[in-house]
Amino acid sequence: MRIACGIEYDGAGFSGWQRQDRARSVQAEVEAALSRVADQNVRVFCAGRTDAGVHASWQVVHFDTTAARSGRSWVLGGNANLPDEVRLLWTRQVDDGFHARFSARARSYRYVILNRQVRSALLRHHVAWDHRPMDETRMQAGARYLVGEHDFSSFRAVACQAKSPLRTVRWISVKRSGDYLYLDIEANAFLHHMVRNIAGVLMAVGRGEREPEWVRDVLDQRDRTQGGVTASAGGLYLVGVRYPDNYLIGASGVLPCYG
Q: Which residues are catalytic?
A: 51
Q: How far apart are CA 235 and CA 8, in angstroms?
A: 15
Cβ contacts of 121 within 8 Å, gap of 6 or more: none
Amino acid at 112: V
159 near 146, Cβ under 8 Å? Answer: no
Q: How far apart are CA 195 and CA 183, in angstroms?
A: 9
Q: How far apart are CA 60 and CA 44, in angstroms?
A: 10
Q: How far apart are CA 86 and CA 176, in angstroms?
A: 29
The secondary element (H helix, E strand) that includes residue 129 is strand 128-129
